[in-house]
């Protein structure tokens, strides 16, 4: 069987109507707008209501991506949902979304790689499409992070927001699609960004709840250094593997973790500011959803068009990271 390139043929995104501004956070925790924007670049983030959950937004994004791809839900062969905030322990959110969209011929599963999850997903399905094992894949990044945020910890509660983005991948002509992609992890850095409670190690007990172990915890200064180095290095490696130079890249769409991290990665790579997309001021850090949301915004606005050479790069808890070069 002849190998075929895999590319993104349709995208979509969705997020809650609720918005939590920096002014709102000033009333909840010891912080202020200047402190938040100076350190993160974030001015607001979307926040799900108590009765809203991850698969709802993953489904909305998925249906939009499928419609734009010009295929039917029954054409999808596999659904990979990248999330750290599933609806429930089981079944997987991917399986739940499969049922909600009517993708009756697909396998559904989750990928648990934090903020790098979307790149993990597209890296997995790229080889399956290229080798002819499947034809169409749906990769979703969906998160309701605000339900895992400790609103007494100003170091983390100001960062995270909710939303979902989705991409349909399928065969594309030679020279287009995913030209290079790679994912990595290093579990030795687990405590730089983690949520210790809720699993089989600590469980859900009175002690774990009292200790606030079921909320995200982060060591921001240490994480910054590892994130910048990892994202810049894997990006440079993937650009070279794809046969291009940094100057050839039309747009960089990084994981929206923190504006200072984005700026530092761009500086280390030698990419000018105008070639780096950022929506963190409005969306905050939506973990696995951030890249597909941002990339879909770029497609909708015309920043990414036919022929654009785009670099995607991410870093997240685990720690995990990845880089992908795509020709649209």
Rounded to whole angstroms, how far apart are CA atoms 134 and 115?
26
Q: Which residues of 38-47 are buried (b: 16+ CB within 10 A; e: fewer)?
A: ebbbbbbbbb
Cβ-based neighbour number of residue 154 at 10 Å = 17
Rounded to whole angstroms, how far apart are CA atoms 184 and 104?
32
- Angle among Cα 123, 127, 130 to the nearest 5 degrees reads 130
DSSP 114: G
- Is residue 255 part of the annotated active site? The answer reads yes
- Is residue 285 part of the annotated active site? The answer reads yes
Helix (H, G, I), strand (E, B) or coil at 13: strand
Which of 13, 22, 115, 298 does the annotation list as catalytic? 115
Contact 47, 161 (CB under 8 A): yes
DSSP 191: G
Pinpoint the alpha helices (H) of the chain. 22-26, 33-40, 54-69, 93-101, 117-130, 154-157, 206-210, 220-241, 259-269, 280-283, 290-301
Which of 5, 255, 258, 298 does the annotation list as catalytic? 255
Contacts of 300 (CB under 8 A, 6+ apart): none
Q: Which residues of 201-227 are buried (b: 16+ CB within 10 A; e: fewer)?
A: eeeeeeebeeeebbbbbbebeebbebb
Rounded to whole angstroms, how far apart are CA atoms 216 and 85?
11
- Is residue 46 part of the annotated active site? The answer reads no
Cβ-based neighbour number of residue 264 at 10 Å = 18
Rounded to whole angstroms, how far apart are CA atoms 321 and 235?
10
Query: Which positions are catalytic?
Result: 115, 255, 285
């Amino acid at each position: 069987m002849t190998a075929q390139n895999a590319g993104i043929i349709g995208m979509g995104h969705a997020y809650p109507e609720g918005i939590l501004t920096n002014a709102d956070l000033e009333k909840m925790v010891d912080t202020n707008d200047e402190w938040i924007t100076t350190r993160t670049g974030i001015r607001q983030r979307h926040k799900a209501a108590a009765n809203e959950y991850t698969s709802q937004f993953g489904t909305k994004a998925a249906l939009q991506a499928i419609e734009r791809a010009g295929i039917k839900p029954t054409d999808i062969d596999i659904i990979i949902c990248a999330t750290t905030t599933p609806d429930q322990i089981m079944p997987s959110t991917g399986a739940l979304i499969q049922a909600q969209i009517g993708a009756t011929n697909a396998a559904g599963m989750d990928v648990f790689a934090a903020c790098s999850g979307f790149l993990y997903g597209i890296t997995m399905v790229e080889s399956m499409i290229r080798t002819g094992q499947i034809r169409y894949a749906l990769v979703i990044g969906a998160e309701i992070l605000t339900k895992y945020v400790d609103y007494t910890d100003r170091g983390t509660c100001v960062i995270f927001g909710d939303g979902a983005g989705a991409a349909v991948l399928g065969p594309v002509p030679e020279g287009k699609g995913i030209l290079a992609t790679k994912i990595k992890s290093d579990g030795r850095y687990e405590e730089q960004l983690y949520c210790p409670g809720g699993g089989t190690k600590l469980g859900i007990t009175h002690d774990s709840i009292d200790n606030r172990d079921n909320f995200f915890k982060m060591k921001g200064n240490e994480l910054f250094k590892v994130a910048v180095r990892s994202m810049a290095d894997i990006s440079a490696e993937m650009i070279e593997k794809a046969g291009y130079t940094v100057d050839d890249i039309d747009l960089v769409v990084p994981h929206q973790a923190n504006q200072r991290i984005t700026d530092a990665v761009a500086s280390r790579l030698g990419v000018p500011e105008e070639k780096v997309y950022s929506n963190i001021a409005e969306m905050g850090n939506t973990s696995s959803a951030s890249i597909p949301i941002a990339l879909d915004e770029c497609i909708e606005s015309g920043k990414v068009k036919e022929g654009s050479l785009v670099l995607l790069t991410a870093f997240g808890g685990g720690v995990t990271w990845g880089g992908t070069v795509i020709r649209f």
